[in-house]
Structure 1
């Protein structure tokens, strides 16, 4: 039976999340919470559905606000088809575009998404290396290191380096300040003659023992100076200040051939790939 998730279902849904965690090929976009109170709070803004029977919950799928539309959480199922649960969740889209993310190796979910009308847009490859694999970083001659950029300079470099990050350009100064005031976020930037030349943005995940480079940008006029490898070393040096962190992970979309080459040459190993799907929204008349 497919029905709305109830408070008594939370332990079963948590068990599904831990089941997903046990194997990279099961990965889908899902709640980040891993205890009952956090999961309850995280699901408050979502429409959460479960497949339930006499033995409890066997599958989970939710739909939540995201960007200009909605995002699917799941579907997650240890056994059995996920198509009916997925279609029930999509019935709540109300004409908005719907995004979904899952491991490239997650064949059952990918087949269900495509059967439901979602189209693969691109894939994102993840690479990782131990922090100990990186040499201690040095700042190149002529450049200066900083952990803070004015929002106008950040936006200018952001816009020049990668036009697909458009969401960051909509941040207000208050959002920008709040983001970089977080304890788990760090900016490592290089300037030359007082102007930003490149930056790497880090997020720390101590519970997983890793630091993640969420964005790496080099101004087009500064390319060819090996600043990308310098930024990776600087990011690793920053992460090594936190003893609970052991690895560095980076990402690159499938069109970012230069970034993929950089990561391979820097010794990072491919560890997983995530496929982004989208169901187009209904255009207003």
Structure 2
């Protein structure tokens, strides 16, 4: 039976999320919480559905606000009815676009998404390795200096010139920019020539996973082809290594970002996972 998630379903949903965590090929976009109270709080602003029988919950999905529409959490299923669960979830989309994210090897979920009208937008590949792979190269090239702050206008200009799909940051206010980089788990390393910003690398620390994610590397178009991308990656690795709990540096690249993929391979980082981004346009019949 497909129905709204109840408070009494929280332990079963947590067990299902932990089951997903046990195998990389089961990965989908899902709540971060792995604690009953935290999961309850995280679900408060979402439309959450479960497929349940007398033995408990065997599938879960939810819709939450995201970008210009909604994001699908899940579906996570250990024997649930994915097509029916997706149909019920999409009834709550109210004509908005719905995004979904699934491991490339999660064939049951990908088949269900595509049958429900979701179209694959791109694949994001992740690469990782110990920061020590790169720290020997963590120095500023001749004529440049390292900065750990950028003016908001320089950050936005570099971001815009790098042609990434994360365009929401172009709409940030100065206050949002300052609040983001005031967070304890966020760092920025930039290369400057005089007062001109040549590029930056941005990191987010995930100490619970002993990992630092390089969420973005940007090099000004006029400065490309000089090895600055590798220097910025090395500087990010050195920043990660200042935190003893960090054991892994991870980066990402969409399937069209061939220079980034080549950079990560040249740096010695190894491919570790692939995630497919899907979208179902709004105002479609479900």
After TM superposition, is the score higher than 0.5?
A: yes
Aligned residue pairs total 283
- Asked whether the equivalents of residues 158 and 165 of structure 1 are also in contact (C-alpha less than 8 Å), the reply is no
- 1:163-214 deviation digits (Å, cap 9, x = unpaired): 5332111011111111000000000111112111010110000011100011
Match of 2:220 in 1: 219
Relative to the length of structure 2, the TM-score reads 0.97
- 1:35-60 deviation digits (Å, cap 9, x = unpaired): 11111111111000011111111110
Match of 1:155 in 2: 156
Match of 1:167 in 2: 168
Segments of structure 2 that go 5 or more residues without pairing to the other structure are: none
1:6 & 1:239 partners in 2: Cα distance? 41
- 1:105-146 deviation digits (Å, cap 9, x = unpaired): 000000000000111111101000112222331111111111
Comparing 171-180 with 126-135, which one deviates more in the overlay?
A: 126-135
- Asked whether the equivalents of residues 51 and 80 of structure 2 are also in contact (C-alpha less than 8 Å), the reply is no
Q: What does residue range 187-266 of structure 1 map to in structure 2 within 5 Å?
A: 187-266=188-267
Relative to the length of structure 1, the TM-score reads 0.97
Comparing 233-242 with 160-169, which one deviates more in the overlay?
A: 160-169
Match of 1:43 in 2: 43
1:264 & 1:206 partners in 2: Cα distance? 25
- Asked whether the equivalents of residues 162 and 217 of structure 1 are also in contact (C-alpha less than 8 Å), the reply is no
- In the TM superposition, residue 232 of structure 1 has moved relative to its aligned partner by 1.1
Match of 1:7 in 2: 7
Segments of structure 1 that go 5 or more residues without pairing to the other structure are: none
1:243 & 1:11 partners in 2: Cα distance? 34
Structure 1's 106 and 206: CA in aligned 2 closer, same or farther, altered over 3 A? Answer: same
Match of 1:106 in 2: 106
Structure 1 SS opposite 2:44: helix
